Structure 1
Amino acid sequence: MSNSLTTTRYPTKNNHKDTSNIPLVFIHGWGLNSAVWQPTIKILQQDVDIITVDLPGFGLNINHKLNDYSLENVANEIQSAVGMPAIYVGWSLGGLVATQLALSFPEKVLACVTVASSPCFLSQEREASSWPGILPSVLTMFYQQLAQDTKKTLEGFLKIQAMGSPNIRQDIKTIRNLVMQYPVPTEQTLSDSLQLLEKVDLRNDLSRLTLPFLRLYGRLDSLVPKAAIAQIDDLLPNSDKHIFDKASHAPFISHGDEFNEVLLSWAQKHL
């Protein structure tokens, strides 16, 4: 294992635009890898510097193991690898990581963007005010399937992510073709990282954040239900948000043009 996570840098192609060399760092979601951002990078690289980083055990960092796969340790590894002030963009589980980075390293995270993410992914039905999220039974099913067939489990997860999208078959095909450029993570890595979706709850920590914060959602997302958006509004009242009306869990795939326009416009205000 190398001492640091591998990152990939994409310098802006627009040499005449003053971006102050502040990069956007993209963090992928559970089960996938940084290749999922390639269509986004192709467009945004015209205007901004970009860095992608695979989570420990995924993609280019498939051999980078963590003895304790905690959110704090993952955030520490990524911050150490990036090593400079940046705007962080995290999708799904990557959104949790980006939020933890903002909490742990406020001097390094200049702004934070979460995509189809939640400070607490697991449904909390026993609370006085129920919290919409992934049902525990769904996560239990994923744990059981991982032990039997890793690739089949990931295929099933891709279908859930695109569920509700008007172009579901094409979205699944696009994501699959992108992420299959890298080897499939081990069952242990997938199980360890899945626990973050099950156990992490950052809701009470969000009030500490004062940085610019953008939240992007798909209205048809089944993993981050639209009912959760209003509750997150209350937790982050000074944040900005945009909801992609006919998108599911991967709006940067299904609504690429709109996604890039919204993200770039917002980011340039904070570069």
Structure 2
Amino acid sequence: MSAKRTLIFVHGWGFDSSFWQPVAELLPEFARVFVDFGFRTQPAHHPKVPGAIVVGHSMGFAWALANLPRPWAGAVAVNAFPRFTRSPDFVSGVAPRMVERMVSRFTEDPAAVTTDFLRRAGVEQPNVDDIHSNTLGEALEWLANCDQRAAMRELECPILALAGTRDSIVPEAMSREAFASVPLVLAEGADHLLPQSHPDWVASQIRLFSAQLR
């Protein structure tokens, strides 16, 4: 029997590793490993598994590009980006002043900022009672300045991007620009929470992508 392929799941800002459970439980034929940033009750856990298929949501994909060792077997970017803020050569990014304002407000009221972000992402009733504001704040500052486009270009593995057409955090135009050079599959009417709202679809896309890898 051949060894199972490994998927390493990386969640985004404001969530924890349980975010991926609806998708992961649909992929029992894979070995499944989870990064956790320690934003909530779970302690930080940054496993490094060279040769895995890296599946990153939102900021988690950019973080993986910056931190997970190569080689990767493949990469699946879900509601994701290698750079978040706008620049002259990335015009679809979020205006830097908006992110700077979010960082500034976070130092004053982390619960309110996190709640607002989660609602805009698509969480109907956010629970922020268990957030670790220091860890979230550090990640937010990293997000404001990250640019992993060169790292993505240097990946020596196939990449698949999945996005929603009604994502208010990562709009369709941003996804199209960020992933102009790789396959991008759009879920019509979906928001920023594809792994939660469309777990069967995301799992199917991962399975099909894996089947095409050597």
Using the size of structure 1 for normalisation, the TM-score is 0.70
> Match of 1:148?
108
Structure 1 unaligned regions, length at least 5: 1-17, 65-77, 163-170
Q: 1:172 aligns with which of 119, 124, 132?
A: 124
What is the rounded CA distance, in whole Å, between the counterparts of 1:254 and 1:199 in structure 2? 29
Q: C-alpha deviations, 1:181-214, integer Å up to 9, x for none?
A: x9311x2222210122110112234332220111
What is the rounded CA distance, in whole Å, between the counterparts of 1:244 and 1:59 in structure 2? 31
Larger radius of gyration: 1
> Match of 1:36?
19
CA drift at 1:95: 0.7
What is the rounded CA distance, in whole Å, between the counterparts of 2:90 and 2:4 in structure 1? 43
What is the rounded CA distance, in whole Å, between the counterparts of 2:116 and 2:14 in structure 1? 11
> Match of 1:267?
210
Conservation of the 8 A alpha-carbon contact between 1:31 and 1:154: yes
User: SS in structure 1 opposite 2:143?
Assistant: helix
Conservation of the 8 A alpha-carbon contact between 1:121 and 1:198: yes
Conservation of the 8 A alpha-carbon contact between 1:133 and 1:223: no
Say yes or no: does 1:231 pair with 2:177.
Answer: yes
What is the rounded CA distance, in whole Å, between the counterparts of 1:32 and 1:184 in structure 2? 9
Q: 1:55 aligns with which of 14, 22, 37?
A: 37
Higher helix share: 1
CA drift at 1:242: 1.0
Correspondence list, 1:90-169, <5 A: 90-101=56-67, 105-107=69-71, 109-124=72-87, 127=88, 129=89, 131-162=91-122
Conservation of the 8 A alpha-carbon contact between 1:99 and 1:112: no
Say yes or no: does 1:82 pair with 2:48.
Answer: yes
Could you tell me which amino acid in structure 2 is paired with residue 204 of structure 1?
A
> Match of 1:202?
148
Q: C-alpha deviations, 1:129-153, integer Å up to 9, x for none?
A: 5521222233233223322322222
Worse-superposed segment, 86-95 or 253-262: 253-262
CA drift at 1:231: 2.5
* Greater RCO (CA < 8 Å, at least 6 residues apart): 2
CA drift at 1:48: 1.6
* Alignment root-mean-square deviation, CA: 2.5
What is the rounded CA distance, in whole Å, between the counterparts of 1:85 and 1:265 in structure 2? 18
What is the rounded CA distance, in whole Å, between the counterparts of 2:115 and 2:174 in structure 1? 26
CA shift in 2, pair 1:172/1:44, >3 Å: farther
User: SS in structure 2 opposite 1:82?
Assistant: coil
What is the rounded CA distance, in whole Å, between the counterparts of 2:179 and 2:113 in structure 1? 32
Using the size of structure 2 for normalisation, the TM-score is 0.87
Structure 2 unaligned regions, length at least 5: none
Q: C-alpha deviations, 1:233-271, integer Å up to 9, x for none?
A: 44xx3x322111111111111222222211222123337
Could you tell me which amino acid in structure 1 is paired with residue 188 of structure 2?
D
Q: How many residue pairs end up in the alignment?
A: 214
